[in-house]
């Protein structure tokens, strides 16, 4: 038996990588929309509802819209955006986060994929807090530097064209979208 998978946002950096990893595997059938239909709401709705699994590789607002298109009670969703990472009805997709998390992910209908910074931060801090080695209410700080993948295709193209594009700071006012997750 093969599982039908639709990757909504399959042309972005994350989507392209997932398509590459799943292509050619006999246990999966990839549902792919033609270029002229990939933003068509009705085509997306049909693909989403005709799939066993949907992987959302979209900006937050588009991910929220995609979930609203589900008209059945069986399609399972993995959301790579940050739109649902702290939502109550979603399971946080970091198996090592806490005891029982792996089983919760395996049984979940809606799984939010953790962000890059939160994964690194939580992998270090969460076990120490869970074991009482660190305080849960301490204002921990993460000092980190990232690449360009989160900026999407436009930033990747800019990096390719501007060899001297250097380090830029952002998120210093504590309103970065990963803060609630961490």
The CATH number of residue 51's host domain is 3.40.50.720
Tell me the average pLDDT across 18-26: 94
Tell me the CA distances in angstroms from 124 to 59, 91, 137, 143, one per residue in order: 27, 20, 16, 13
- Verify whether residue 116 is a known catalytic residue: yes
pLDDT digits (tens, 9 = 90+) for 98-124: 899 999 999 999 999 998 778 888 899
CA pair distance 140, 179, nearest whole angstrom: 11
Angle at 73 between CA 69 and CA 76, to 5 degrees: 75
Higher pLDDT, 171 or 55: 55
Residues 94-109 as b/e (b if ≥16 CB within 10 A, e otherwise) read beebeeebeeebeebe
pLDDT at 149 over 60: no
Q: How many CB atoms lie within 10 A of CB 119?
A: 18
Total structural domains within the chain: 1
Tell me the average pLDDT across 6-29: 93
Give the global pTM.
0.82
Spot the catalytic one: 116, 123, 124, 130.
Answer: 116
The domain of 177 spans 1-182
């Amino acid at each position: 038996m093969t599982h039908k998978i639709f990757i909504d946002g399959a042309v972005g950096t994350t989507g392209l990588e997932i398509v590459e990893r799943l292509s050619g595997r006999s246990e999966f059938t990839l549902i792919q929309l033609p270029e002229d239909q990939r933003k068509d709401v009705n085509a997306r709705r049909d693909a989403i509802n005709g799939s066993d699994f949907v992987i959302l590789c979209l900006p937050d607002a588009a991910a929220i819209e995609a979930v609203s298109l589900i008209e059945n009670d069986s399609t399972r969703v993995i959301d790579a955006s940050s739109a649902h990472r702290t939502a109550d009805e979603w399971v946080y997709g970091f198996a090592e986060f806490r005891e029982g998390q792996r089983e919760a992910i395996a049984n979940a209908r809606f799984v939010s994929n953790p962000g890059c910074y939160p994964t690194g931060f939580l992998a270090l801090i969460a076990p120490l807090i869970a074991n009482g080695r660190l305080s849960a209410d301490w204002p921990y700080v993460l000092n980190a530097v990232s690449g360009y993948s989160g900026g999407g295709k436009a930033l990747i193209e800019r990096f390719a064209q501007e060899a001297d594009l250097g380090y830029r700071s952002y998120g210093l006012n504590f309103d970065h979208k990963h803060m609630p997750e961490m």
